[in-house]
Structure 1
Amino acid sequence: MPVQGHLNSMLNLSHLFCLAEFDVTFIISDFSHRRLLQHTTVAATFARYPGFQFLAFPDGLPEDHPRSGHRAMEFMSSVNNVTVPLFKEMMIQENFLASATRRPVTCFVADGKSMDELIESIPGMEGFIRRRDLPSFYRVDDLNDPVLKDIVAVTMLIKRARVAIFNTCEDLEGQIVAEVRKHVPRVFSIGPIHEQVKYRLTEKKAESSIITASLWAEDRSCIDWLDAQPSKSVIYVSFGSLALVTTEQVLEVLHGLLDSSQRFLWVMRPDSITAGNDGEDPVLVELKELVKGKGLLVAWAPQEKVLNHPAVGGFMTHSGWNSTLESIAAGVPMVCWPYFGDQTTNSRFVSEVWRIGLDIKDTCDRKIIEKAIRDLMEVRKDEFMESSANLAKLVKNTVSKGGLSYDNLDGLTQYIKSLVI
């Protein structure tokens, strides 16, 4: 899926394949490709690997379509109706993508949503997964709901795969990975992929840079601001690349932050507030005035760098999987306010399974937000910091030499090499 969160992990996986000296063709939408070239160093990073190429297709939507919030499902439907047929047409061409300088295609790695099916079927999860923790598209009254049917159909495709690759690790979700192995012949959990890339680049003494798949321009002035703040004193706030918030929700979050008396760095995408207008949103203008001297408001930030900054002591997040993994690897505890999809389940794992944060889903009240932030940053700070540090150590060890994710990546690359005839 050509959206921010999916691009992050798939580009990092492509980077790992390039380090294994594979030829890689990355299928992407025209829209996302243009944004990547505009806002990232992806082109320069992959220029080091002659076997890598982008192949762009239209996603079927006009340039000004938001591709986010409640209209995200329109985007997915358009990709299915426009992009997929074009891709299938290319696939049936004889020797597609092969050339004098490129090897024939050995395998196709598809982006999926298989985490969603597992939520209600895994033994032992009944004690902490509630109905509200399931993705919203499962909480429908009609079994013929078209979105539910589409999600189930996509999820069931995993049973047809020779291999399933998961951006997770046994230390985080060993029971889930074991359950998947009952349905798929080979499962490789190689995550956190972004940490795997960093370790492999260091191991190979490679000069290539870490990939940031940002579709927006990053405001790096926030790093200078963080440099001036005390250790573990800042709560970082970001609701990701797809979430939309109402004016009322923005104000509740703002007052919760202000009333908590904590320093904060808040990422607020210009297109993230509903009922905006052609000029600068008046809510954003008000926010900038109220925030002065108490925090910093930016349109987009280099998130991984922010989370690993010594001044950051907490993360108020929408609980997207990339954000969750990045926070875990950085040892930063979380306040979770999920938006949709797997985020509602990820947030429950953060609070009830890994115990590295608090889940405040289904509420947007300034008093609840204030209390959650105070608990995270003051009242229960030592407890959360210790559990987060321990989990960070586990996930860094698993991608290091001798770790299970490290070995699984080697097993995956060897399996792909065995497919060559």
Structure 2
Amino acid sequence: MAETPEIRPHAIMIPAPYQGHINPLVDLALNLASRGFTITFVNTKFIHHLLSKSHKNLSDNNNDTDTDMFSEARKSGLDIRYTTISDGFPLDFDRDTNVFEFWEYLLDGFIVHVDELMENMVKSSCQHMKPFLIADTFCTWHAKIANKYNMVDVSFWTEPALMFALDYHLDLLRKNGHYPPPKEDTITYVPGVDPISTKDLMTFLHESDITMEHKVVFRAMEEIEHADFILLNTVEELEPKTVPALTQILPTYAIGPVNLYTRNFKISKSLTQETECTEWLRSKPPSSVLYVSFGSFAHLKGNQVMEEIAHGLLLADVNFIWVVRKNIIIGSDDATDLLPGGFEEKVKGKGLIVPWCDQDSVLSDPGIGGFLTHCGWNSVMESMCHGVPMICFPLLHDQPTNRKLVVDDWKIGINLCDGESVTRDEVAGKIKRLMCTGGFRDESKKVRDVLWDSLDAAAGGSSDRDLARFLEDLRAKIHA
């Protein structure tokens, strides 16, 4: 009598269409595929087009349908497929300038495209595979789609547990008069959250009017109530009160940092062509280079900040790599034009200015001694994974809250300034303090070890344990 083939889990994975949300979901996809899962990773056609241009140097008129970001992973034996869907707009639609219109459609119209994809995938699914959904928490349709197709619903939170707890308990903030906060005050009543100042809340919570960010967060928190599992890209040892508190009320699993699971795979996931920095870094002494980057999405407000940072780097007289990406200031196609006259000539040999680079590769280089960052969670995680201390200059969204963790809780960085304006003397002073003080580097190395140990089964790592618990619970749910 023939044996009944084992049911194989098939994860259909859909990120929010931004670099900072795509990267960790790609890492999670590779991790699950290496554990025997079948994966179908879904990008929008626009994101796919950016990937194709970045890695094949295609012009806007070239056909990019043959680009597959997981082709190398499949050569390693992983069963990981790749497909695309429309986001409802033509490729030449400016999603940054028209962000309100774009997100309005993502909230209410995009589900039509996902529905069509899911219907086709479920119909064509092999009888020995059981499809389930893993979607970014800010894909605010995931529970509806999972319910319609009777699929297990996994929501992936790409920010710290602290952010999740604050978003989830917005009703408590509202009830206690801290949303929006009338003045600076201390919040002491959110379960699992140590006392936190209102100045450290996410930027949208300081807005009296309902913004698009409010709408997205509100909808995401409504949808999360129906998820079967919630994965957090954080580590319990770093958030020892918040993670257990969330586990008491929701099916949460802290499995971060997901970027460390996939160190052996080289995946082309950058939406912008990268400049190679390795050779330049090799010419510099250990821990002598400051890396400066404000991520893939955040915008500086006005030329003044660019000028003051540039002059601060000159005053600090430090080796540096500075990512000056296109449109870092809204409306500027080439932000290097905003640098002070003669700046690039003055820093020749000491400074490398690039439009984009492989950040994880740069931060892992022995030459890097510090990171001036906007405090996006991926950047914070990557910096911690390599023991690099930070100068924090948050700009929007979760970044002020992430700064609070870096500076106040973990003591692995310093605050650049209070507010959005900054002076060159502040910049120079903070750079010298960070780069010349061994204490920050020592604390950063301790946190680095905590992150790596969290994935070590032999060391009883919490993230390894939570991942194993998630996989066991997931398989039970799928087979049920």
**Interval containing the TM-score (normalised by the shorter chain):** 0.7 to 0.9
Superposition pairs of residues 154-233 of structure 1, within 5 angstroms: 154-184=220-250, 186-198=251-263, 209-220=265-276, 222-233=277-288
CA shift in 2, pair 1:223/1:152, >3 Å: same
Indicate which of 332, 335, 338 corresponds to 1:283. Answer: 338
**What's 2:467 paired with?**
409
**What's 2:149 paired with?**
none
The CA distance in 2 between the partners of 1:32 and 1:146, in whole Å, is 21
CA shift in 2, pair 1:24/1:233, >3 Å: same
Q: Which runs of 5+ in 1 are unaligned?
A: 202-208
> Contact between 1:335 and 1:373, CA under 8 Å: does it hold in 2?
yes
> Does structure 1 residue 122 correspond to structure 2 residue 190?
yes
Indicate which of 6, 10, 19 corresponds to 2:34. Answer: 19
Deviation at 1:154, TM superposition (A): 0.9
TM-score normalised by length of structure 1: 0.88
> Does structure 1 residue 238 correspond to structure 2 residue 293?
yes
> Does structure 1 residue 39 correspond to structure 2 residue 39?
no
**What's 1:368 paired with?**
426
> Contact between 2:372 and 2:390, CA under 8 Å: does it hold in 1?
yes
> Does structure 1 residue 149 correspond to structure 2 residue 176?
no
**What's 2:396 paired with?**
340
Deviation at 1:112, TM superposition (A): 1.5
> Contact between 1:238 and 1:316, CA under 8 Å: does it hold in 2?
yes
| CA shift digits 1:111-165 (9 cap, x unpaired) | 01565352366347453x32232122111224x5554233122123222112111
> Contact between 1:267 and 1:299, CA under 8 Å: does it hold in 2?
yes
Indicate which of 79, 83, 86 corresponds to 2:106. Answer: 79
Report the aligned-residue RMSD. Answer: 2.5
> Contact between 1:348 and 1:359, CA under 8 Å: does it hold in 2?
no
The CA distance in 1 between the partners of 2:74 and 2:357, in whole Å, is 25
The CA distance in 1 between the partners of 2:39 and 2:400, in whole Å, is 33
The CA distance in 1 between the partners of 2:42 and 2:290, in whole Å, is 36
**What's 1:204 paired with?**
none
Q: Which has more helix, going by share of residues?
A: 1
Letter in 2 for 1:368: E
**What's 2:18 paired with?**
3
Higher deviation after alignment, 111-120 or 347-356: 111-120
Letter in 2 for 1:56: T
> Contact between 1:196 and 1:406, CA under 8 Å: does it hold in 2?
no
Task: Work out which of the two has the higher radius of gyration on C-alpha atoms and give 1 or 2.
Answer: 2
Higher deviation after alignment, 317-326 or 132-141: 132-141
SS at match of 2:238: helix
Indicate which of 80, 88, 106 corresponds to 2:115. Answer: 88
CA shift in 2, pair 1:77/1:13, >3 Å: same
CA shift in 2, pair 1:301/1:160, >3 Å: same
The CA distance in 1 between the partners of 2:211 and 2:70, in whole Å, is 41
TM-score normalised by length of structure 2: 0.77
Letter in 2 for 1:211: I
CA shift in 2, pair 1:281/1:232, >3 Å: closer
| CA shift digits 1:236-281 (9 cap, x unpaired) | 001000012232211111111111111110011122233425x786
> Does structure 1 residue 384 correspond to structure 2 residue 437?
no
The CA distance in 1 between the partners of 2:465 and 2:164, in whole Å, is 27
Higher deviation after alignment, 336-345 or 363-372: 363-372
Indicate which of 203, 215, 218 corresponds to 1:136. Answer: 203
SS at match of 2:125: coil
> Does structure 1 residue 51 correspond to structure 2 residue 98?
no
The CA distance in 2 between the partners of 1:383 and 1:313, in whole Å, is 12
CA shift in 2, pair 1:312/1:239, >3 Å: same
Identity of aligned residues (%): 29
User: Which structure has more RCO (C-alpha within 8 Å, separation ≥ 6)?
Assistant: 1
CA shift in 2, pair 1:305/1:145, >3 Å: closer
Superposition pairs of residues 282-361 of structure 1, within 5 angstroms: 282-283=337-338, 286=341, 287-360=343-416, 361=418
The CA distance in 2 between the partners of 1:322 and 1:420, in whole Å, is 34
> Contact between 1:61 and 1:78, CA under 8 Å: does it hold in 2?
no
| CA shift digits 1:333-389 (9 cap, x unpaired) | 0001112111111011100000100123523222221111111011xx211011001
The CA distance in 1 between the partners of 2:288 and 2:246, in whole Å, is 40
| CA shift digits 1:211-240 (9 cap, x unpaired) | 3521111111x2111100011001000100
> Contact between 1:401 and 1:407, CA under 8 Å: does it hold in 2?
yes
SS at match of 1:26: strand
Deviation at 1:65, TM superposition (A): 4.5
The CA distance in 2 between the partners of 1:124 and 1:366, in whole Å, is 39
| CA shift digits 1:73-113 (9 cap, x unpaired) | 4433332344222112443568345147x7241x2112015
CA shift in 2, pair 1:74/1:345, >3 Å: farther
| CA shift digits 1:41-95 (9 cap, x unpaired) | 8333333356322221122334344544x75444333323442221124435683
**What's 1:206 paired with?**
none
> Contact between 1:159 and 1:183, CA under 8 Å: does it hold in 2?
no
> Contact between 1:26 and 1:53, CA under 8 Å: does it hold in 2?
yes
> Contact between 2:391 and 2:413, CA under 8 Å: does it hold in 1?
yes
SS at match of 1:214: coil
CA shift in 2, pair 1:108/1:190, >3 Å: same
Superposition pairs of residues 254-273 of structure 1, within 5 angstroms: 254-273=310-329
